[in-house]
Amino acid sequence: MFLQKYCFVLANISTFCPPPLSSSSKDQAEMDPADMEDVEEVEEEETGEDENSKARQLTVQMMQNPQILAALQERLDGLNGSPSGYMESLPKVVKRRVNALKNLQVKCAHIEAKFYEEVHELERKYAALYQPLFDKRSDIVKAAYEPTDEECEWKADEEEELTDEMKEKAKLEEEKKDEEKEDPKGIPEFWLTVFKNVDLLSDMLQEHDEPILKHLQDIKVKFSDPGQPMSFTLEFHFEPNDFFTNTVLTKTYKMRSEPDENDPFSFDGPEIMSCTGCTIEWTKGKNVTLKTIKKKQKHKGRGTVRTVTKTVPNDSFFNFFTPPEVPENGELDEDSEAILAADFEIGHFIRERIVPRAVLYFTGEAIEDDDDDYDEEGEEADDEEGEEEADEENDPDYDPKKDAAPPAECKQQ
């Protein structure tokens, strides 16, 4: 902060304190106009490093002047434009008016909270309109409904310029391939493929989770009833399987859409406050969230060794249904806070993106859309790096040996 003030004041002081006339300046003053043209050409060729060096010399000269130092101190003492001192410098009557503006801002936050409550009502309303389409999607995935030829027509981008003859040939080849293969039911491993295609979800998956998720048939979002506290529930529907007896696993997220009394200005829409999972009725020996380990223990006195079997937690996607409990006082340790923060992000992403656009994550099209911005940024970075490398190669003073990695024995300890 002091440095910012110093630079600001120094910039102002330099406007009324011209730099001392150097010997080179005196020489230029005595030159003919014709000679000055040659001097200007030389000055244009000076490097930025020379200019910075001159600026530093000028600063040193100015700071050695007692009058300039006194002016600098006076300006610093009277400078109240920073956030730390500006409010304190205001007259009392102005501070009162600023407090009135803050009270208006709190009222705006409460109105914004009502806005989000109405948005939640709209979400509930349109969820009922989406649901028949999602139900039909589920029926196609699990082979409960076979779509008609008309429903299956889709003009892909790469097919737009194909001739009728090429399209007919491609159709015959596809039919031949279908005859050679077994007739699959529905869309096998639909949701498992979706999960594996999304980094946020694939990071949770373990190899032992995949056989179970092959039985996942649908994911639904249920909103809280009118008049009830704001919340939503994710329902994971499974076909009968050998791993657990549940047909539906649930995860409920409770939200709050009102400003915090202690910090109303931090309100930025509904936030998830807590979540609750469900009890999975595992078949004996099939619980992938636990694993059995064997440890050898040696008796201190007799020296005998025994093997002890212990059951410990195991990494699994299905730990998603047993989140840490939030105590009434809301205080959590750092590990639990990190787990819940990731949990809230995953729950929100499944609700907002995965369920409404599942087929696009299955095909990978939605992932390409999500990555567009990052690709462009990466390309820009690559271009800049390429430019830097080109500059180095064209530099006659460039020595590649200076950029070489140090030998192994020079590594820091």
CA–CA gap between residue 146 and residue 362 (Å, rounded):
19
| Interval 302-327: pLDDT, tens | 778 888 888 899 999 999 999 988 77
Tokens of 151: 């429903």
The reported pLDDT for the residue numbered 65 is: 65
Decide if pLDDT at 299 tops 60.
yes
**Section 292-301 average pLDDT:** 82
Residue, of 381 and 230, whose pLDDT is higher: 230
Tokens of 341: 């923060």
**What is the percentage of the chain residues whose pLDDT exceeds 70?**
62
Decide if pLDDT at 208 tops 80.
yes
The reported pLDDT for the residue numbered 23 is: 44
CA–CA gap between residue 282 and residue 272 (Å, rounded):
29
The reported pLDDT for the residue numbered 221 is: 96
Give 3-state DSSP helix, strand, coil % of the chain, rounded to 5.
55, 15, 30
What H or E segment, with its residue span, contains residue 251?
Answer: strand 248-256
The reported pLDDT for the residue numbered 129 is: 94
CA–CA gap between residue 217 and residue 239 (Å, rounded):
7
When computed from its CA atoms, the radius of gyration of the chain, rounded to whole angstroms, is 35
3-state SS, residue 224: coil
| Interval 239-271: pLDDT, tens | 999 999 999 999 999 988 788 878 888 777 777
Which of 147, 123, 152, 148 lies closest to 136 in space, CA to CA? 147
The reported pLDDT for the residue numbered 87 is: 82
CB 203 within 8 A of CB 320: no
Of the candidate ranges 93-102, 307-316, 349-358, 395-404, the one whose mean pLDDT is the lowest: 395-404
Give backbone dihedrals phi and psi of 389, rounded to 5 degrees, phi first.
-65, -40
Architecture of the CATH domain 96-147+186-287+314-327+334-371: 2-Layer Sandwich (3.30)
- Which is it for the CA torsion 309, 312, 318, 324, positive or negative? positive
The domain segmentation of the chain, as residue ranges, is 96-147+186-287+314-327+334-371
Predicted confidence band at 18 (pLDDT cuts at 50, 70, 90)? very low
**Section 265-287 average pLDDT:** 88
The reported pLDDT for the residue numbered 164 is: 63
Tokens of 178: 């279908």
Residue, of 111 and 227, whose pLDDT is higher: 111
pTM over 0.75: no
Of 78-92, 94-108, 294-308, highest mean pLDDT? 94-108
Residue, of 392 and 13, whose pLDDT is higher: 392
The reported pLDDT for the residue numbered 335 is: 82
Which of 234, 264, 261 lies closest to 250 in space, CA to CA? 234
Tokens of 35: 């000679």
**Section 372-377 average pLDDT:** 50
The reported pLDDT for the residue numbered 72 is: 60
The reported pLDDT for the residue numbered 53 is: 65
